[in-house]
Protein backbone atom coordinates (compact mmCIF):
# COMPACT_ATOMS: atom_id res chain seq x y z
CA UNK A 1 0.00 0.00 0.00
CA UNK A 2 1.73 3.15 -1.22
CA UNK A 3 0.64 6.22 -3.14
CA UNK A 4 1.70 6.97 -6.68
CA UNK A 5 3.44 10.06 -5.28
CA UNK A 6 5.68 8.07 -2.94
CA UNK A 7 6.56 5.58 -5.66
CA UNK A 8 7.56 8.21 -8.22
CA UNK A 9 9.40 10.94 -6.29
CA UNK A 10 13.07 11.14 -5.28
CA UNK A 11 13.06 12.97 -1.96
CA UNK A 12 16.07 14.80 -0.47
CA UNK A 13 17.27 13.60 2.93
CA UNK A 14 18.50 15.56 5.92
CA UNK A 15 20.51 14.71 8.98
CA UNK A 16 19.23 14.28 12.51
CA UNK A 17 19.60 17.03 15.10
CA UNK A 18 22.80 16.69 17.07
CA UNK A 19 22.84 18.45 20.42
CA UNK A 20 21.21 21.64 21.67
CA UNK A 21 20.53 24.49 19.24
CA UNK A 22 18.95 27.96 19.14
CA UNK A 23 16.76 29.46 16.45
CA UNK A 24 14.34 32.35 16.09
CA UNK A 25 11.48 30.26 14.66
CA UNK A 26 11.06 26.54 15.20
CA UNK A 27 8.77 24.73 12.74
CA UNK A 28 7.55 21.32 13.91
CA UNK A 29 6.40 19.08 11.07
CA UNK A 30 7.85 18.31 7.66
CA UNK A 31 4.76 18.05 5.50
CA UNK A 32 3.89 20.59 2.84
CA UNK A 33 2.68 23.14 5.42
CA UNK A 34 5.91 23.14 7.40
CA UNK A 35 8.09 23.09 4.28
CA UNK A 36 6.26 26.05 2.76
CA UNK A 37 6.58 27.96 6.05
CA UNK A 38 10.33 27.30 6.02
CA UNK A 39 10.57 28.34 2.37
CA UNK A 40 8.88 31.70 2.96
CA UNK A 41 10.79 32.39 6.19
CA UNK A 42 14.04 31.79 4.34
CA UNK A 43 12.89 34.20 1.62
CA UNK A 44 12.35 36.85 4.32
CA UNK A 45 15.80 36.26 5.83
CA UNK A 46 14.35 34.95 9.12
CA UNK A 47 16.33 32.47 11.20
CA UNK A 48 14.39 29.19 11.37
CA UNK A 49 14.75 25.45 11.89
CA UNK A 50 12.32 22.74 10.78
CA UNK A 51 12.28 19.39 12.58
CA UNK A 52 10.48 16.27 11.37
CA UNK A 53 10.05 13.11 13.43
CA UNK A 54 10.43 10.84 10.41
CA UNK A 55 11.17 12.08 6.87
CA UNK A 56 9.71 15.05 5.02
CA UNK A 57 6.53 14.24 3.11
CA UNK A 58 6.20 10.98 5.04
CA UNK A 59 2.75 11.71 6.45
CA UNK A 60 -0.42 13.26 5.10
CA UNK A 61 1.22 15.11 2.20
CA UNK A 62 2.27 11.85 0.55
CA UNK A 63 -1.31 10.54 0.63
CA UNK A 64 -3.23 13.46 -0.83
CA UNK A 65 -5.03 13.51 -4.18
CA UNK A 66 -3.11 16.77 -4.79
CA UNK A 67 -5.86 19.05 -6.06
CA UNK A 68 -5.04 22.75 -5.82
CA UNK A 69 -8.39 24.46 -5.59
CA UNK A 70 -10.55 27.01 -3.82
CA UNK A 71 -13.56 24.77 -4.45
CA UNK A 72 -14.05 22.77 -1.27
CA UNK A 73 -17.38 21.08 -1.78
CA UNK A 74 -20.61 23.06 -1.59
CA UNK A 75 -19.33 25.34 1.15
CA UNK A 76 -19.95 28.85 -0.11
CA UNK A 77 -23.72 28.91 0.36
CA UNK A 78 -23.27 27.54 3.86
CA UNK A 79 -20.50 30.01 4.64
CA UNK A 80 -22.57 32.94 3.42
CA UNK A 81 -25.35 31.92 5.81
CA UNK A 82 -23.06 31.38 8.79
CA UNK A 83 -20.33 33.98 8.36
CA UNK A 84 -21.66 36.63 6.00
CA UNK A 85 -20.56 38.00 2.65
CA UNK A 86 -17.38 39.80 3.77
CA UNK A 87 -15.73 36.80 5.43
CA UNK A 88 -16.85 34.45 2.68
CA UNK A 89 -15.22 36.71 0.10
CA UNK A 90 -12.04 36.76 2.17
CA UNK A 91 -12.03 32.97 2.42
CA UNK A 92 -12.41 32.64 -1.36
CA UNK A 93 -9.78 35.30 -2.02
CA UNK A 94 -7.26 33.64 0.32
CA UNK A 95 -7.71 30.30 -1.46
CA UNK A 96 -7.50 31.89 -4.91
CA UNK A 97 -4.24 33.58 -3.92
CA UNK A 98 -2.94 30.21 -2.74
CA UNK A 99 -3.74 28.66 -6.14
CA UNK A 100 -1.95 31.52 -7.91
CA UNK A 101 1.09 31.16 -5.64
CA UNK A 102 1.37 27.48 -6.56
CA UNK A 103 1.17 28.46 -10.22
CA UNK A 104 4.04 30.88 -9.67
CA UNK A 105 6.26 28.49 -7.70
CA UNK A 106 5.58 25.43 -9.85
CA UNK A 107 7.26 27.09 -12.83
CA UNK A 108 10.61 26.41 -11.16
CA UNK A 109 10.08 22.70 -10.48
CA UNK A 110 9.28 19.61 -12.52
CA UNK A 111 6.16 18.63 -10.60
CA UNK A 112 3.63 17.71 -13.31
CA UNK A 113 1.69 20.90 -12.69
CA UNK A 114 -1.45 21.35 -14.80
CA UNK A 115 -4.23 23.92 -14.80
CA UNK A 116 -7.64 22.32 -14.49
CA UNK A 117 -11.31 23.09 -14.00
CA UNK A 118 -12.78 21.85 -10.70
CA UNK A 119 -16.31 20.50 -10.32
CA UNK A 120 -18.55 19.66 -7.38
CA UNK A 121 -21.33 17.35 -8.56
CA UNK A 122 -24.46 15.99 -6.95
CA UNK A 123 -26.10 12.70 -7.78
CA UNK A 124 -29.65 13.87 -7.17
CA UNK A 125 -29.90 17.35 -5.62
CA UNK A 126 -29.94 20.01 -8.32
CA UNK A 127 -31.49 22.50 -5.94
CA UNK A 128 -28.33 22.43 -3.80
CA UNK A 129 -26.25 23.08 -6.89
CA UNK A 130 -28.46 25.97 -7.97
CA UNK A 131 -28.17 27.53 -4.52
CA UNK A 132 -24.37 27.22 -4.64
CA UNK A 133 -24.27 28.61 -8.18
CA UNK A 134 -26.28 31.63 -7.07
CA UNK A 135 -23.72 32.22 -4.32
CA UNK A 136 -20.92 31.85 -6.88
CA UNK A 137 -22.51 34.73 -8.74
CA UNK A 138 -22.49 36.91 -5.63
CA UNK A 139 -18.79 36.09 -5.23
CA UNK A 140 -17.91 36.92 -8.84
CA UNK A 141 -17.56 33.33 -10.08
CA UNK A 142 -19.24 31.45 -12.95
CA UNK A 143 -22.75 30.97 -11.62
CA UNK A 144 -24.32 28.17 -13.60
CA UNK A 145 -25.02 24.50 -13.10
CA UNK A 146 -23.18 22.50 -15.75
CA UNK A 147 -23.40 18.94 -17.01
CA UNK A 148 -20.86 16.21 -16.22
CA UNK A 149 -20.26 14.16 -19.40
CA UNK A 150 -16.86 12.92 -18.20
CA UNK A 151 -18.40 11.02 -15.28
CA UNK A 152 -19.53 7.46 -16.08
CA UNK A 153 -22.84 7.80 -14.23
CA UNK A 154 -25.81 10.16 -14.24
CA UNK A 155 -25.75 13.25 -12.01
CA UNK A 156 -27.94 16.24 -11.31
CA UNK A 157 -25.14 18.43 -12.64
CA UNK A 158 -22.24 20.29 -11.07
CA UNK A 159 -20.91 23.72 -10.19
CA UNK A 160 -17.61 24.58 -11.82
CA UNK A 161 -14.62 26.71 -10.83
CA UNK A 162 -12.15 27.75 -13.50
CA UNK A 163 -8.36 28.20 -13.26
CA UNK A 164 -7.67 25.59 -10.61
CA UNK A 165 -4.80 23.07 -10.76
CA UNK A 166 -3.26 19.73 -9.87
CA UNK A 167 0.33 18.50 -9.47
CA UNK A 168 2.68 15.88 -8.06
CA UNK A 169 2.95 16.97 -4.41
CA UNK A 170 6.17 15.18 -3.48
CA UNK A 171 8.04 16.27 -6.60
CA UNK A 172 7.07 19.83 -5.69
CA UNK A 173 8.04 19.29 -2.05
CA UNK A 174 11.40 17.82 -3.04
CA UNK A 175 12.13 20.86 -5.15
CA UNK A 176 11.39 23.56 -2.60
CA UNK A 177 12.88 21.65 0.36
CA UNK A 178 16.34 20.78 -0.94
CA UNK A 179 18.12 23.94 0.32
CA UNK A 180 16.18 24.46 3.56
CA UNK A 181 17.37 24.13 7.16
CA UNK A 182 15.75 20.80 8.07
CA UNK A 183 16.48 18.02 10.56
CA UNK A 184 14.77 14.68 9.98
CA UNK A 185 14.30 11.82 12.47
CA UNK A 186 14.09 14.45 15.21
CA UNK A 187 11.00 13.74 17.31
CA UNK A 188 9.71 16.38 19.72
CA UNK A 189 8.91 14.69 23.03
CA UNK A 190 8.22 17.63 25.31
CA UNK A 191 7.23 21.29 24.96
CA UNK A 192 7.95 24.20 27.28
CA UNK A 193 7.75 27.97 26.76
CA UNK A 194 10.45 28.79 24.24
CA UNK A 195 11.85 25.26 24.26
CA UNK A 196 11.23 21.95 22.53
CA UNK A 197 12.84 18.79 23.86
CA UNK A 198 13.72 16.17 21.27
CA UNK A 199 15.39 12.78 21.48
CA UNK A 200 18.59 14.41 20.20
CA UNK A 201 18.78 17.73 22.03
CA UNK A 202 16.89 20.80 23.22
CA UNK A 203 15.83 23.51 20.76
CA UNK A 204 15.53 27.01 22.21
CA UNK A 205 13.45 29.41 20.13
CA UNK A 206 11.55 32.70 20.20
CA UNK A 207 8.54 31.46 18.23
CA UNK A 208 7.07 28.10 17.22
CA UNK A 209 4.93 26.97 14.30
CA UNK A 210 3.02 23.72 14.81
CA UNK A 211 2.64 22.12 11.36
CA UNK A 212 2.00 18.62 12.69
CA UNK A 213 -1.36 17.96 11.01
CA UNK A 214 -3.05 17.56 14.43
CA UNK A 215 -1.75 19.93 17.16
CA UNK A 216 0.51 18.11 19.63
CA UNK A 217 -0.03 20.33 22.70
CA UNK A 218 -3.14 19.27 24.65
CA UNK A 219 -2.97 21.91 27.36
CA UNK A 220 -4.11 24.88 25.33
CA UNK A 221 -6.45 25.72 22.48
CA UNK A 222 -9.05 22.97 23.12
CA UNK A 223 -8.16 21.27 19.84
CA UNK A 224 -9.12 17.89 21.31
CA UNK A 225 -12.78 18.96 21.11
CA UNK A 226 -12.46 21.28 18.09
CA UNK A 227 -11.15 18.55 15.77
CA UNK A 228 -11.83 14.98 14.77
CA UNK A 229 -10.12 12.91 12.08
CA UNK A 230 -11.54 11.35 8.95
CA UNK A 231 -10.10 8.59 6.75
CA UNK A 232 -10.61 8.20 3.03
CA UNK A 233 -9.20 5.91 0.37
CA UNK A 234 -7.78 6.12 -3.15
CA UNK A 235 -7.17 3.67 -5.95
CA UNK A 236 -5.20 4.54 -9.11
CA UNK A 237 -6.47 2.77 -12.23
CA UNK A 238 -4.82 2.11 -15.56
CA UNK A 239 -6.95 1.51 -18.65
CA UNK A 240 -9.76 3.62 -17.23
CA UNK A 241 -11.35 6.73 -18.69
CA UNK A 242 -9.16 9.83 -18.42
CA UNK A 243 -10.76 13.02 -17.11
CA UNK A 244 -9.76 16.56 -17.98
CA UNK A 245 -11.51 18.03 -14.94
CA UNK A 246 -11.23 17.37 -11.21
CA UNK A 247 -14.46 16.12 -9.61
CA UNK A 248 -15.79 15.64 -6.10
CA UNK A 249 -19.23 14.61 -4.84
CA UNK A 250 -21.03 17.16 -2.67
CA UNK A 251 -21.84 14.27 -0.33
CA UNK A 252 -18.85 13.57 1.92
CA UNK A 253 -19.51 9.84 1.47
CA UNK A 254 -19.30 10.14 -2.31
CA UNK A 255 -16.45 9.77 -4.79
CA UNK A 256 -13.77 12.06 -6.17
CA UNK A 257 -11.87 11.82 -9.46
CA UNK A 258 -8.79 13.23 -11.16
CA UNK A 259 -6.34 11.93 -13.72
CA UNK A 260 -2.56 11.71 -13.43
CA UNK A 261 -0.72 10.75 -16.60
CA UNK A 262 -2.28 7.41 -17.65
CA UNK A 263 -3.95 6.87 -14.27
CA UNK A 264 -7.43 7.68 -13.04
CA UNK A 265 -7.44 8.41 -9.30
CA UNK A 266 -10.71 7.47 -7.62
CA UNK A 267 -11.21 8.48 -4.00
CA UNK A 268 -13.92 7.71 -1.47
CA UNK A 269 -14.94 5.18 1.18
CA UNK A 270 -14.80 7.92 3.81
CA UNK A 271 -15.49 7.46 7.52
CA UNK A 272 -14.51 8.88 10.88
CA UNK A 273 -11.23 7.36 12.07
CA UNK A 274 -12.00 4.46 14.38
CA UNK A 275 -15.36 3.79 12.74
CA UNK A 276 -16.37 1.46 9.92
CA UNK A 277 -16.48 2.76 6.35
CA UNK A 278 -16.44 1.81 2.72
CA UNK A 279 -12.64 1.71 2.42
CA UNK A 280 -11.06 0.24 -0.75
CA UNK A 281 -13.82 -2.33 -1.15
CA UNK A 282 -16.26 0.41 -2.12
CA UNK A 283 -13.84 1.84 -4.68
CA UNK A 284 -13.02 -1.56 -6.18
CA UNK A 285 -16.69 -2.40 -6.51
CA UNK A 286 -17.21 0.90 -8.33
CA UNK A 287 -14.27 0.16 -10.65
CA UNK A 288 -15.61 -3.31 -11.49
CA UNK A 289 -18.98 -1.82 -12.39
CA UNK A 290 -17.88 1.20 -14.45
CA UNK A 291 -14.35 0.32 -15.60
CA UNK A 292 -14.32 -3.48 -15.92
CA UNK A 293 -11.16 -3.46 -18.08
CA UNK A 294 -9.20 -1.25 -15.66
CA UNK A 295 -6.18 -2.44 -13.68
CA UNK A 296 -5.40 -1.20 -10.18
CA UNK A 297 -1.84 0.14 -10.08
CA UNK A 298 -1.68 1.87 -6.66
CA UNK A 299 -3.86 2.08 -3.58
CA UNK A 300 -3.55 4.13 -0.42
CA UNK A 301 -5.40 5.91 2.38
CA UNK A 302 -5.48 9.49 3.64
CA UNK A 303 -6.35 11.08 6.95
CA UNK A 304 -7.81 14.56 7.41
CA UNK A 305 -8.44 16.82 10.41
CA UNK A 306 -11.99 18.16 10.43
CA UNK A 307 -12.83 21.49 12.18
CA UNK A 308 -16.14 22.51 13.70
CA UNK A 309 -17.11 24.71 10.76
CA UNK A 310 -16.09 25.34 7.14
CA UNK A 311 -12.65 26.89 7.71
CA UNK A 312 -9.28 25.60 8.97
CA UNK A 313 -7.62 26.85 12.15
CA UNK A 314 -4.62 28.96 11.14
CA UNK A 315 -3.06 31.50 13.47
CA UNK A 316 -2.25 31.95 17.14
CA UNK A 317 -2.19 28.56 18.87
CA UNK A 318 -3.87 29.89 22.02
CA UNK A 319 -3.94 33.09 24.07
CA UNK A 320 -1.76 31.43 26.69
CA UNK A 321 0.85 30.68 23.98
CA UNK A 322 1.45 34.15 22.46
CA UNK A 323 4.53 33.18 20.44
CA UNK A 324 3.14 29.92 19.05
CA UNK A 325 1.18 29.41 15.84
CA UNK A 326 -0.81 26.52 14.40
CA UNK A 327 -2.17 25.28 11.08
CA UNK A 328 -4.73 22.46 11.28
CA UNK A 329 -8.28 21.41 10.41
CA UNK A 330 -7.74 21.47 6.65
CA UNK A 331 -10.67 19.10 6.09
CA UNK A 332 -9.91 17.44 2.75
CA UNK A 333 -8.24 20.43 1.14
CA UNK A 334 -4.79 20.39 2.68
CA UNK A 335 -2.79 21.45 -0.36
CA UNK A 336 -4.47 24.84 -0.77
CA UNK A 337 -4.78 25.32 2.99
CA UNK A 338 -1.07 24.63 3.43
CA UNK A 339 -0.20 27.54 1.15
CA UNK A 340 -2.63 29.85 2.96
CA UNK A 341 -1.06 28.77 6.26
CA UNK A 342 2.48 29.47 5.09
CA UNK A 343 1.64 32.93 3.74
CA UNK A 344 -0.43 33.88 6.78
CA UNK A 345 1.95 32.54 9.44
CA UNK A 346 4.99 34.08 7.77
CA UNK A 347 3.28 37.45 8.21
CA UNK A 348 2.28 36.71 11.80
CA UNK A 349 5.76 35.76 13.01
CA UNK A 350 6.96 39.11 11.61
CA UNK A 351 4.16 41.05 13.27
CA UNK A 352 2.60 41.93 9.90
CA UNK A 353 -1.19 42.29 9.86
CA UNK A 354 -2.75 39.86 7.40
CA UNK A 355 -6.24 40.59 5.98
CA UNK A 356 -7.24 36.90 6.20
CA UNK A 357 -6.27 36.29 9.82
CA UNK A 358 -9.78 36.72 11.24
CA UNK A 359 -11.32 34.23 8.78
CA UNK A 360 -9.04 31.41 9.97
CA UNK A 361 -8.61 32.52 13.61
CA UNK A 362 -8.30 29.38 15.81
CA UNK A 363 -9.87 31.36 18.67
CA UNK A 364 -13.23 31.84 16.94
CA UNK A 365 -16.42 30.51 18.52
CA UNK A 366 -16.57 26.78 19.14
CA UNK A 367 -20.33 26.63 19.68
CA UNK A 368 -21.20 24.51 16.67
CA UNK A 369 -23.28 21.34 16.30
CA UNK A 370 -20.14 19.28 15.61
CA UNK A 371 -18.83 20.17 19.08
CA UNK A 372 -21.55 18.02 20.67
CA UNK A 373 -20.69 15.09 18.40
CA UNK A 374 -16.98 15.34 19.21
CA UNK A 375 -17.64 15.58 22.95
CA UNK A 376 -20.06 12.64 22.92
CA UNK A 377 -17.62 10.47 20.94
CA UNK A 378 -14.83 11.22 23.39
CA UNK A 379 -16.97 10.46 26.45
CA UNK A 380 -18.20 7.15 25.04
CA UNK A 381 -14.71 5.95 24.23
CA UNK A 382 -13.18 7.20 27.46
CA UNK A 383 -15.73 5.11 29.35
CA UNK A 384 -15.38 2.03 27.14
CA UNK A 385 -13.68 -0.70 29.26
CA UNK A 386 -11.12 -2.15 26.86
CA UNK A 387 -7.44 -2.87 27.43
CA UNK A 388 -5.82 -1.10 24.47
CA UNK A 389 -5.87 2.64 25.28
CA UNK A 390 -4.61 5.59 23.32
CA UNK A 391 -1.66 7.31 25.05
CA UNK A 392 -2.93 10.69 23.82
CA UNK A 393 -5.90 11.09 26.19
CA UNK A 394 -6.80 7.55 27.21
CA UNK A 395 -9.60 6.69 24.79
CA UNK A 396 -10.35 3.07 23.88
CA UNK A 397 -8.65 1.97 20.68
CA UNK A 398 -10.61 0.12 18.00
CA UNK A 399 -9.12 -2.62 15.83
CA UNK A 400 -9.22 -1.77 12.12
CA UNK A 401 -9.30 -5.13 10.27
CA UNK A 402 -8.93 -3.52 6.84
CA UNK A 403 -5.70 -1.62 7.56
CA UNK A 404 -4.54 -3.86 10.42
CA UNK A 405 -4.17 -0.98 12.84
CA UNK A 406 -5.44 0.22 16.21
CA UNK A 407 -7.40 3.45 15.67
CA UNK A 408 -8.68 6.05 18.14
CA UNK A 409 -12.25 7.25 17.42
CA UNK A 410 -11.80 10.27 19.70
CA UNK A 411 -8.90 12.13 18.10
CA UNK A 412 -7.66 9.91 15.29
CA UNK A 413 -4.34 8.55 16.54
CA UNK A 414 -3.43 5.28 14.83
CA UNK A 415 -1.03 2.50 15.77
CA UNK A 416 0.39 -0.56 14.03
CA UNK A 417 -0.37 -4.08 15.25
CA UNK A 418 2.59 -3.90 17.64
CA UNK A 419 1.60 -0.46 18.98
CA UNK A 420 4.01 1.63 16.89
CA UNK A 421 2.63 5.12 16.31
CA UNK A 422 1.31 5.71 12.77
CA UNK A 423 -0.67 8.95 13.05
CA UNK A 424 -0.74 11.71 15.68
CA UNK A 425 -1.88 13.46 17.93
CA UNK A 426 -0.38 10.79 20.20
CA UNK A 427 3.34 11.46 20.62
CA UNK A 428 4.41 7.92 21.40
CA UNK A 429 3.65 4.25 20.90
CA UNK A 430 0.68 2.47 22.47
CA UNK A 431 1.04 -0.33 24.99
CA UNK A 432 -1.08 -3.22 23.73
Residue 294 maps to which CATH number?
3.30.70
The residue segments making up the domain with residue 53 are 4-65+171-226+309-360
Residue 390: inside a domain, yes or no? yes
Same domain, 280 and 319: no
Calculate mean pLDDT across residues 359-378: 88
Same domain, 287 and 328: no
Same domain, 206 and 320: yes
- The C-alpha atoms of residue 12 and residue 38 are separated, in whole angstroms, by 15
Same domain, 210 and 314: yes
- The CA-based dihedral angle spanning residues 377, 380, 381, 385, taken in that order and rounded to the nearest 10 degrees: -170
- pLDDT band for position 384 (cuts 50, 70, 90): confident
pTM of the model: 0.95
Indicate if the pLDDT at residue 371 is higher than 90: no
Same domain, 60 and 8: yes
Residue 71: inside a domain, yes or no? no
Number of H helices, E strands in the chain: 10, 21
Structure confidence by residue, pLDDT tens digits, 309-348: 989 999 999 999 999 999 999 999 999 999 999 999 999 9
Query: Cβ distance 377 to 227 under 8 Å?
Result: no
Residue 143: inside a domain, yes or no? no
Q: What is residue 286's predicted lDDT score, i.e. its pLDDT?
A: 97
Same domain, 249 and 379: no
Q: What is residue 369's predicted lDDT score, i.e. its pLDDT?
A: 83
Other CB atoms within 10 A of residue 413 CB: 28
Same domain, 267 and 398: no
Same domain, 281 and 417: no
The domain tally of the chain equals 3
- Name the DSSP class of 387: S
Structure confidence by residue, pLDDT tens digits, 246-302: 999 999 889 999 999 999 999 999 999 999 888 999 999 999 999 999 999 999 999
Amino acid sequence: MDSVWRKTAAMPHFGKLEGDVKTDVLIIGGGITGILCAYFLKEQGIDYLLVEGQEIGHGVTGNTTAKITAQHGLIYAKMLRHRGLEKTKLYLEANQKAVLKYMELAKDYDCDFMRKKAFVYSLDNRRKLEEEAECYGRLGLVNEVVETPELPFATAGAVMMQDQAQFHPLKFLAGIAKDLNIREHTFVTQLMPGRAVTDAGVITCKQMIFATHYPIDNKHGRYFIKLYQHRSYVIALQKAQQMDGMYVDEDRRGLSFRSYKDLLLVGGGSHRTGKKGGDWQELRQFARQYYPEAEEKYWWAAQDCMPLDEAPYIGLYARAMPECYVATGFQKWGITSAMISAMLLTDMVQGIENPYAEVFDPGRSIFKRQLLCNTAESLVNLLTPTRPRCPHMGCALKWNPVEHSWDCPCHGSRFAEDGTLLDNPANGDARL
